[in-house]
Amino acid sequence: MNVHAIRAIYMFEMHRWARTVVQSLAAPVITTSLYFIVFGAAIGRRMPAVDGVSYGAFIVPGLIMLSILTESISNGSFGIYMPKWAGTIYEVLSAPISAVEIVLGYVGAAATKSVILGLVIAVTARFFVAYSIAHAAVALAFLVLTSVTFSLFGFLLGIWADGFEKLQIVPLMVITPMTFLGGSFYSISMLPGVWKQIALFNPVVYLISGFRWAFYGVSDVGVGISLSMTLGFMAACLAAVTWIFRTGWKLKT
């Protein structure tokens, strides 16, 4: 394992992120804070408790997950797309670095950025609503696992995209709607029967449900199922990355 190569890619990506920290960190925090002000403080005071949890506290895990999913995909996709766009990807591919080391460097940096963002948002939320974390270790595990999984997905998106428009279309047209419909602001038990069954086909439901269980011990689906779904999606992303580096699809051509 070429640790120096992994560290070089990792540190380069982290330094690039530090140069744009206002856009990369401050903007999502400000946006999420507005959600807390509007939904948590203003509307939350007029909403009944959901599953025994005040509405303002109930939406905290969903809003953190909303930011994590969006930023993980963005960080993972831009990390690999920019070398493709600039042409420097060929220097990386011709270097004595394996595919595993390349993925560890880029995805590791993207996931680190997302974990930092998630922790900052969690701290910021305390200024707006009071909440507790019943299972801190599980919450951190879901935070890290989700960041890594969707950074991998973003890495795939960055390889697939051949323009900046394609980098934006999946997060805007697919991931964000799935997150809003995945129980970020409500429990799917509140939905009518048929819509409740339809919601179970949304993979984001399992991520938010498992993360919310770590906070309050309540969830729409079992935490074991949530963990299994997340691990299954990660395995699918890893399989796709392996195939891409084996064939060179969209990477070497």
* CA dist., res. 112 & res. 43, Å (int): 33
Q: Where are the domains of the chain?
A: 3-247
> How would residue 252 be classed by pLDDT, with cut points 50, 70 and 90?
low
In this prediction, residue 215 carries a pLDDT of 95
Q: Residue 87: exposed, middle, or buried by beta-carbon count in 10 A (0-12, 13-18, 19+)?
A: exposed
More confidently predicted of 24 and 253 = 24
In this prediction, residue 44 carries a pLDDT of 65
The per-residue pLDDT for range 105-162, each reduced to its tens digit, is: 999 999 999 999 999 999 988 888 888 899 999 999 999 999 999 999 999 999 998 8
In this prediction, residue 14 carries a pLDDT of 92
More confidently predicted of 180 and 119 = 119
Range 22-43 average pLDDT: 78
Angle between helix axes 55-86 and 99-125 (nearest 10 degrees) is 150
* CA dist., res. 126 & res. 114, Å (int): 19
Range 64-86 average pLDDT: 89
Q: Percentage of the chain surpassing pLDDT 90?
A: 30
Nearest to 107 by CA among 140, 153, 54: 153
In this prediction, residue 253 carries a pLDDT of 60
In this prediction, residue 42 carries a pLDDT of 66
Mean pLDDT score of the chain: 86
> How would residue 7 be classed by pLDDT, with cut points 50, 70 and 90?
very high
Residue 63 has phi, psi (to 5 degrees) of -70, -35
More confidently predicted of 46 and 190 = 190
Residue 69 has phi, psi (to 5 degrees) of -60, -45
Nearest to 54 by CA among 125, 126, 129, 112: 129
Whether the pLDDT of residue 40 is over 70: the answer is no
More confidently predicted of 123 and 44 = 123
